[in-house]
Structure 1
Amino acid sequence: METVSEIIVDALVKAGAKRCYGIVGDTINHFTSAVRQSKLEWVHVRHEEVGALAAGGESYLSGELSVCAGTAGPGSLHFLNGIFESHRNGAPVLLIATRIDRAEQGLGFPQDVDQIKLYEQCAVFCETLSDPEQARRIVSQAAQAALNHRGVAVVEVSGDIFKTKIKDSIPWAVHRPQWLARPTDEELDALAEKLNQAGKIVIYGGIGCRFAHDAVVKLGQQLAAPIVHTTRSKEYLEYDNPCNVGMNGILGNPAGYRAVQTCDLLLCLGNDFAYTQFYPEKATIIQVDIAASHLGRRTPIHMGLVGDVGATIEALLPRLKDRSDNAFLQDLLSRYQKDLEQLEERGHEPDPKLIHPQYVAQALDKLASDEAAFTADGGSPMVWLLRHLRANGKRSFLTSLSHGTMANAYPQGLGMAKADPNRQVIAMCGDGGMTMLMGDLLTLVQEKIPLKLLVFNNHSLGFVEMEQRIEGLLDSYTDLQNPDFSRMAEVIGIPGEKVEKAGDLEDAMKRWLAVKGPALLDVTVNRLELVMPPEVTAQQVSSTALFGLKAILNGRADEVVDLLKDNFLR
């Protein structure tokens, strides 16, 4: 006879889980006791949201199952935002969300929460373990769903069930079949006909191209088609790609944006990019996706096919004619080269009076390992990662692009560093994101996690401030009164250093990266840095001018001068 706790932990280990993130207490005490006696490592975080983000970071990087566990009511609820983030990133995480004992449920007992209603909207599997005999079966099914659907699974367990002893006689297990899917021959023939007859073709690759780099590049070369990638697929399509012309979208570059807007046929491969305004209005749009529910949900399409990107391309290539006319591709490659040169210029020639965040990102790109894993907080650090860090086929990038949360960077980095402690893992943190979940810096020390923290310190919620100004508003409630992060880190037990002059940055960054354990680099960056979109509209210009007028009328003319000088007169 075994306890349900022991059975659950054994099922998790057999599913490949190596770690469980959480905070111990009441309804999970028997579960954590079973963890202590198993191969599953308990990672003691200071806030459950950090635990969920860390588990998501680990699973996103490894592709394997990670686990979180929370106490009844507040404990399990604190995971919610991190679980949403991990689910939307496609990370296979399993949450054990506990509830008060069954005898007290439905009677208004303290901390009683029906968590299924909350978590079912951010999970591929969400069930209550209602009978002890279900323990191995339910947990195995949850792990199988998380791994095969690449998302979060939630199992709700009442505290009293954990200590129940049962005979665990049926060997329920987790299955991870390998399979490929592609459109029918008739559909592929129809797709090939459209591609063979089309004029200017652009391939728009998304996260579905994760394992299909070579196939996508081969297709681009055969069609003489520029390849544009979404922000989430930068890691997988940017490198070793002679057809790459960059990104589309508000964070993209002019060549990527122009390619999508001027093509005759847009072939979307594994692309679920959400912003309809960045799709072309007149082009023929064809979409290939592994999920039929994704077809046509972002923009109207002329043809939708279900299939794995790599398998679909391999079956499509023999049906296509080679193209000799590559003028469209060459024009956009030339434009993309100019985009790269302009990005380089924005971080070049450091101003002795301030540090531009682009300069920081470019220094990091140069000094970080070729195999580094990077995370970035939602907001401007995410922009500097996407625009200034180079993908090379060995680096990994994780940002909050689908959920858009604050304070994701170093918690996700925590899990990534746990998953691979020998790999250089770097979190690009905003000062707002850092201070939102600052308590788990203590976890880095206690768990000896060698994460490198780079703080872009502009004393403001910079991305929000920019949004307000672009809409013609005076920025409001965005000021941040920050501590000296480097001194704070030292007090906690993390080596810290502060940089306020551009000339000091590279040496400080080299020292920071050389530290064997966790380390923090606090860099004071220009507050008045705009994130320029790939195409500036007349509305944006007029709105920014309106901000300038309001600022002058409110005695803030010096800010307007600095804004113009730092962004338009450089």
Structure 2
Amino acid sequence: MSTSVSEVIVDTLVQAGTRRCYGIVGDTINHFTDAIRRSELDWVHVRHEEVGGLAAGGEAYMTGELAACAGTCGPGSLHFLNGIFESHRNGAPVVLIASNVDRHEEGLGFPQEVDQKRLYEQCSVFCERISHPDQARRITAQAAQAALARRGVAVVIVNGDILQESCADSLRWTVNRATPVTIPSTDELEAIAEAINGAARITLYVGIGARGARERLIAFAERIKAPIVHTTRSKEFVEPDNPYNVGMTGILGNRAGMEAVADCDLLLTLGTDFAYTQFYPDEARIIQVDIDPTRLGRRTPVEIGVVGDVGATLDALSERVAPRDSEKHLQKALNQWRRDQDDYRARGAEQDPDLIHPQQLTQVLDRLAAQDAIFTADGGSPMVWLLRHLSANGHRRFLTSLLHGTMANAYPQAIGIQQAYPDRQVIALCGDGGMTMLMGDLLTLVQERLPVKLLVFNNGSLGFVEMEQRVEGLLDAYTELKNPDFGKVAEACGLYGARVDRADRLEEALASWLAHDGPALLDVAVNRFELVMPPKIEVGQVASTALFGLKAVLNGRTDEVVDLLKNNFVK
């Protein structure tokens, strides 16, 4: 009995641990989706391929296992592009089957022909074309292995006619998984230990590369009495029950994290590739530990850069580093961290029955959501409220678009996460701009019977962009959104839908929304004039905002200036 290329690709993906493939059926992949129909693999029918790329990435990021998506030639595969970029930058192991026109039409300007390789090489760890049917299993296995080993997207390009052909499939190529442990050399460890022993004020800056090393990280901080500052993506495992955690640095961070980095004389960065050079210390010595040698010194000059797994490297350093007693630098950071938390709570506790602050909304959600809930957030202000006001407890998981910075990622990613975790509460914090960008896949939630909970922060604007414009002293322009009642839109699509615009009805609305047995959307009218305040306001920012105020007054927008001042600067 002959085996088709489609069947071989599907079987190889299943053997590699793939459980779902996301996409839209049609023309060049019809034989492929028919092979899926006859296999253990589930097909998830989305309404837009970008959603499929985001959903596959959400599933793969949370599980660490392979997810797949597949697109037809031309527009079908192209629509995946933004979702694939997001998933790749998040480190999600995904395989994309990108189909092309039949071989005899290639190079002739045939309708829908696209050079897929040139497009996807920049957002993948593997991108190859199956040029002969007998390559099907070998190339698919290589793609799966690359995606899992290098934590990124792998792309397999295949012509529609090849998917129909029979192949020999004589060699059973499989995916091999390895878990090596890497530590720096003895000389490098001794140099790092010498620097730590000679420093007075040490800060640990921890990124996603330290996942799995939580207990060793805390033990090391205890040994050298160092505050731990974490990146946005490492919130879920650094923050819970950590007596050395002082939050984040950067524009989305808090004052304690920012000052702990700025005031140290030695910054030890562990598994982070934080991109913003202006937030690194000006005078401190910097030591970087990362498993990827290409990242060493990429963001700021480092005195010592070493390749190693964070946990194993900390174990090796602990034997060489002298314990210390002085806690002055640590206590200063912890005291500021307590003040930062008090300020966050105060902003969320402000009472005005006619006005819902986004901080208040997020803090009520934090209290009502399940202890093992999984949260996603759109790029822009929703991700800020997630990072600042949702608490990590060691069971909750978080996913935002920090590296790619896309809009409309939250509920598409939640689709894939809910598929993987059908019994857990999955909550997407959506901006009104993000929701309207990919609103069609509300129907996917209904069709797939996924009980995702969508929370729309509806401020009638592209709020983060509006803030950027105002801080630069510009009049905000082209940011206003004319939105529908999203609750009614959801109801029309077959979801539970509701809207709330008063703070005194907020908790009841949230409780009903969370309790609904099925997909549900809550449209919340939040304050438009709520700036995402940086951890420390600089003179230039105040001057620029004042310049916006002057321009707004001169243009007849005095009420907006009053609201901006009242909600962000007047205490």
TM-score (ref. length: structure 2): 0.99
- Counterpart of 2:87 in structure 1 is 86
- Per-residue CA deviation, residues 313-367 of structure 1 (Å, 9 max, x unaligned), is 1111111111011111111101100000000001103212210000000001111
Q: Which residue of 2 aligns with 1:143?
A: 144
Q: CA deviation at 1:178?
A: 1.6
Task: Please tell me the residue identity of whatever aligns with 1:273.
Answer: F
**Coordinate RMSD, CA, aligned:** 0.6
1:419 equivalent to 2:427? Answer: no
- The code of the aligned residue for 2:305 comes to G
The CA distance in 2 between the partners of 1:350 and 1:55, in whole Å, is 40
Match in the other structure for 2:192 = 191
Match of 1:312 in 2: 313
The residue correspondences of 1:60-459 to structure 2 (distance < 5 A) are: 60-459=61-460
Partners of 2:169 and 2:353 in 1: CA distance:
69
Secondary structure (helix, strand or coil) at the match of 1:347 reads helix
Instruction: Supply the AA of the counterpart residue of 1:282.
Output: E
Residues 249-277 of structure 1: per-residue CA shift (max 9 Å, x gap): 00000000000000000000001000000
1 CA distance for matches of 2:154 and 2:167?
A: 24
Of 166-175 and 276-285, more deviation after overlay is shown by 166-175
Deviation of 1:467 (Å): 0.5
Deviation by residue 1:11-56 (Cα, 9 ceiling, x = unmatched): 0000000000000000000000000000000000000000000000
Separation in structure 1 between the aligned mates of residue 27 and residue 76 of structure 2, nearest angstrom: 10
| Secondary structure, aligned partner of 2:305 | strand
Deviation sequence 1:65-99 (CA, Å, 0-9, x none): 00000000000000000000000000000000000
Q: Which residue pairs with 2:570 in the alignment? A: 569
Distance 2:466 2:175 in 1: 48
In structure 2, distance between residues paired with 1:328 and 1:303: 22
Give structure 2 stretches of 5+ with no counterpart: none
Task: Give 1:288 deviation, angstroms.
Answer: 0.2
Amino acid at match of 1:422: D
User: What secondary structure does 1:329 align onto?
Assistant: helix
CA distance in 2: counterparts of 1:466 and 1:382, whole angstroms: 15
Shift of 1:167: 2.2
Separation of aligned partners in 2, 1:553 and 1:167? 76
1:523 Cα offset (Å)? 0.3
How far does residue 235 in structure 1 lie from its aligned partner after superposition? 1.0
Alpha-carbon shift at residue 562 of structure 1 (Å): 0.7
Deviation at 1:569, TM superposition (A): 1.6
| CA shift digits 1:430-463 (9 cap, x unpaired) | 0000000000000000010110000000010000
Secondary structure of the 2:104 match is: helix
Q: Aligned with 1:426: secondary structure? A: strand
Letter in 2 for 1:211: G
Q: What are the ranges of 5 or more consecutive residues in structure 1 without an aligned counterpart?
A: none
Aligned equivalents of 1:384, 1:392: Cα separation in 2: 17
1 CA distance for matches of 2:230 and 2:304? 20
- Which whole-Å CA distance do the structure 1 matches of 2:205 and 2:567 have between them? 33
**Residue 549 (structure 2) aligns with:** 548
2-side partners of 1:431 and 1:288: how far apart?
A: 39
**Equivalent in the alignment of 1:539:** 540
How far apart in 1 are the matches of 2:75 and 2:167? 29
Query: Residues 439-518 of structure 1 correspond to what in structure 2 (within 5 A)?
Result: 439-518=440-519
SS at match of 1:76: helix
Q: How many residues align?
A: 570
Question: Take 1:56 and 1:423, find their aligned partners in 2: how far apart are those partners?
Answer: 18
| Matches of 1:527 and 1:174, distance apart in 2 | 50
Structure 1 residue 138: Cα displacement: 0.2
Q: Kindly, what percent of the aligned residue pairs are identical?
A: 66
Query: Normalization by structure 1: what TM-score?
Result: 0.99
